[in-house]
Amino acid sequence: MPIALEDERVRLVKTVFVIYYHQDVHKASKFLLDFGFEVAEQRDDEVIFFKGYGPDPYCYVARRAEDGVARFGGAAYLVESEAELEKASKIPGASAISKLDAPGGGSIMTLTDPIGHLVHLVHGIREKPSEAAAEKNLQKLVVNYGDEKRRVGKFQRFQMGPAPVHKWGHYGVSYPPGKYQDMVDWYTGHLSLAFSDKVTIGGKEAVSFFHIDRGLEYTDHHSFYIKPTRGDDEKPDVAHSAFEVHDYDVQQLAHNYLESKGYKLSWGVGRHVLGSQIFDYWYDESGFELEHYADGDLVNCETEVTVQENGPHTMYVWGPPRPAARG
């Protein structure tokens, strides 16, 4: 069920797309296709819209960086109505509402958080027909357990290759020391984002995961999270963007495929604790970190928010050691 009509926050529905600027969109495209996206629309050397097999007409936008500097261009949420865009336009620093020049059309406006990260709000995008998993040659497996054998006389057969992306699920950004509360107040005060889990460092809240608050309606465990930079010298930036894939087998096969292509692995394959999803992080051709994830949790307003101190296995229960570079 939707959240209350009297809610003063801008009411979000779901995550829809992320924007990245690359020096060369064609070079970026090579990795993105191997990662599991499909091209939705290409406009010369300026921009390529990439889609998954879900209903969103695109979920990743690769734009050419005119100044030659690769950078994150912000994340977009779908809002409930045009009235919500009007509400958002009154937030300090908000852009004007304009036509969204992209597949599916619609309207867009942009907010800037206290650190300078961009948050795009959109409405009126025409969705495309979703493709069933079977259309992508994705099996819904029947698993044989030790005490329960439901698959008899049939076989599981798999093929290595890209993991078809279903949708964009979540992203994270970093903030400089001392700005945690500013970030929390801005995101939860202006947007219908609510805590799912909190992680403390030295007893102080530092890493927080937020879901889209739809009241009793279940949504992904987190659509957004924040983490601190590693000191004053590190510039706040995007942490990673995560894209949902079918299941663990597809994810592991894609891991092997990306490995065979010589791409740079960040971390994976493993199982997160907070959110429960199976993860696999890779660096693209511009050095940005993208994640394949599967089997994530769903939460609502009644789900308990946990608080725990950061430790060696706060973020994962199995998988390779967590890279030291990840804060």
Q: What pLDDT band is residue 312 in, cutting at 50, 70 and 90?
A: confident
Which residues have a Cβ under 8 Å from the Cβ of 138 and sit 6 or more positions away?
Answer: 164, 246, 247, 250
Per-residue pLDDT reduced to its tens digit, 220-271: 999 999 999 987 789 999 999 999 999 999 999 999 999 999 999 999 999 9
**Mean pLDDT to the nearest integer, 295-318:** 96
Provide the strand spans (E) within 23-159.
Answer: 38-43, 47-51, 60-64, 71-79, 98-99, 107-112, 118-123
Domain assignments of the chain as residue spans, ordered by start: 12-128+166-318
Q: Is the pLDDT of residue 1 over 50?
A: no
Mean of the pLDDT values across residues 267-289?
Answer: 98
Does residue 303 carry a pLDDT above 90? yes
pLDDT band of residue 164 (cuts 50, 70, 90) is: very high
> Over the stretch 32-66, which tens digit does the pLDDT of each residue have?
999 999 999 999 999 999 999 999 999 999 999 99
pLDDT given for residue 325 in this prediction: 53
CATH fold for the domain made of 12-128+166-318: 2,3-Dihydroxybiphenyl 1,2-Dioxygenase; domain 1 (3.10.180)
The pLDDT, as a whole number, for residue 4 is 52
pLDDT by residue (tens digit) across 77-132?
Answer: 999 999 999 999 999 999 999 999 999 999 999 999 999 999 999 999 999 999 99
Give the separation between CA 327 and CA 235, rounded to whole angstroms.
13
